[in-house]
Amino acid sequence: MKTLQFPNQTAFYRGKVRDVYTISDKWLVMLASDRISAFDVILPRPIPFKGQVLNQIAAYMLKATRDVCPNWLVDTPAPNVAIGRKCEPFRVEMVVRGNLTGHAWRTYNSGKRELCGVPLPEGMKENDYFPTPIITPSTKAEVGHDEDISRAEIISRGLVGENDYAQMEKYTLALFQRGRELAAKQGLILVDTKYEFGKIGDTIYLMDEIHTPDSSRYFYADGFEERQNKGERQQQLSKEFVREWLIANNFMGKEGQTVPTMTDEWVDTISKRYIELYERVIGEAFRPQALSDEETYQRVLYSLSNIED
């Protein structure tokens, strides 16, 4: 989608996946593109309907967790657009993990028994449940790679005040519990995810997307224990399969590495996996919607006029 220009627009930011417009320094218009990133690198080809999938899952989950934590969302006027409150963001991401998977497993398998200041139990296998979910925060980088950071370092560096961080921890664990409950109803296990928070005045708000395939990992619940007992790979719905494909093709976002060629077939496979996750998580058939830039623009204008009023 081309870059748009809205009345009373005061800022524009293009992220890895989203184009974010600030209106009157009070509202954010987020357009979820079909861009896909991995290892903090934008891959060369867009994924059809990915933006719609992300936006609609996030909207569904934000509405399903309003009683757990205040959030930024006000309206979703188009399939790939969300409008909400502009918050002052905390520069950390609250990563929460229920299972020893992905980055946590790679750290554990290297012999380390601590992640972000959190001790990791001995004797665990890949994908095992942690005794209780753990929070392993990361810094929120404007460019480049996010980095692991501990609770103590976040507070000592003044990235988040101690009281605010304690509240964010409570929200994170409560949101993760709700996410697990919602996933379980659809025969899925929410394995790990991340949350971003910001503030307006003294109120902490949940920001951005939640429980989407870009920010979360899901396993199929059916057969999970049997696969664990046999040491078999778990069936998962997440973006991890894209990361695994990149690793297998010698790309991890490091200097000097080249992104492997994405064939039409591979792009189609990724798109179908995103749609599959939507249908499994939401429990409804996905209905592709392809609006023109002009129709999207007009819908956003109408929504903003009602919000401003």
- Which residues constitute the domain of residue 160? 89-241
3-state secondary structure at position 111:
coil
Q: Is the pLDDT of residue 212 over 70?
A: yes
- The closest of 216, 185, 192, 211 to 55, measured between CA atoms, is 211
Q: Is the pLDDT of residue 207 over 70?
A: yes
What pLDDT is stored for residue 239 in this prediction? 81
Average pLDDT over residues 275-279: 90
CATH number at residue 105: 3.30.470.20
Q: Give Cβ neighbours of residue 149 (< 8 Å, ≥ 6 apart).
A: 92, 116, 137, 138, 139, 159
Residue 212 covered by a domain: yes
Q: Is the pLDDT of residue 275 over 70?
A: yes
What pLDDT is stored for residue 141 in this prediction? 63
**CB–CB of 33/1 below 8 Å?**
yes
Distances (CA, A) of 304 to 6, 15, 244: 10, 22, 41
Residue 121 covered by a domain: yes
Question: How do residues 78-89 score in pLDDT, each as one tens digit?
Answer: 999 999 999 999
Query: Domain count of the chain?
Result: 1
Question: How do residues 133-152 score in pLDDT, each as one tens digit?
Answer: 999 999 976 555 578 999 99
3-state helix, strand, coil in the chain (%, to 5): 35, 25, 40
Residue 54 covered by a domain: no
Q: Give Cβ neighbours of residue 297 (< 8 Å, ≥ 6 apart).
A: 4, 6
Which residue intervals of the chain are DSSP H helices?
50-64, 102-109, 151-156, 162-185, 224-230, 240-248, 264-282, 293-308
Residue 120 covered by a domain: yes
What pLDDT is stored for residue 238 in this prediction? 77
C-alpha to C-alpha distance for 193 and 176, rounded to whole angstroms: 8
Residue 210 covered by a domain: yes
Give the phi and the psi of residue 27 in degrees, each rounded to 5.
-120, 150
3-state secondary structure at position 121:
coil
What pLDDT is stored for residue 142 in this prediction? 58
- The closest of 54, 8, 21, 69 to 196, measured between CA atoms, is 69
C-alpha to C-alpha distance for 134 and 48, rounded to whole angstroms: 34
**CB–CB of 67/108 below 8 Å?**
no
What pLDDT is stored for residue 35 in this prediction? 92
pTM of whole model > 0.95?
no
**CB–CB of 229/128 below 8 Å?**
no
- Structure-token pair, residue 117: 């200041």
Residue 68 covered by a domain: no
145 or 111, greater pLDDT? 111
- The closest of 164, 157, 149 to 117, measured between CA atoms, is 149
pLDDT band at 126 (very low <50, low <70, confident <90, very high): very high
Residue 67 covered by a domain: no
Question: How do residues 227-256 score in pLDDT, each as one tens digit?
Answer: 999 999 998 887 878 988 999 999 998 888
Average pLDDT over residues 102-113: 95
C-alpha to C-alpha distance for 13 and 42, rounded to whole angstroms: 15
pLDDT band at 29 (very low <50, low <70, confident <90, very high): very high
Average pLDDT of the chain is 93
Sign of CA dihedral 28, 34, 40, 41: negative
3-state secondary structure at position 78:
strand
Q: Is the pLDDT of residue 48 over 80?
A: yes
Residue 283 covered by a domain: no
User: Any idea which of 141-145, 162-166, 250-254, 284-288 has the lowest mean pLDDT?
Assistant: 141-145
Helix (H) or strand (E) holding 175: helix 162-185
- Structure-token pair, residue 87: 């918050």
Average pLDDT over residues 107-124: 97
What pLDDT is stored for residue 145 in this prediction? 59
Give the phi and the psi of residue 245 in degrees, each rounded to 5.
-65, -40
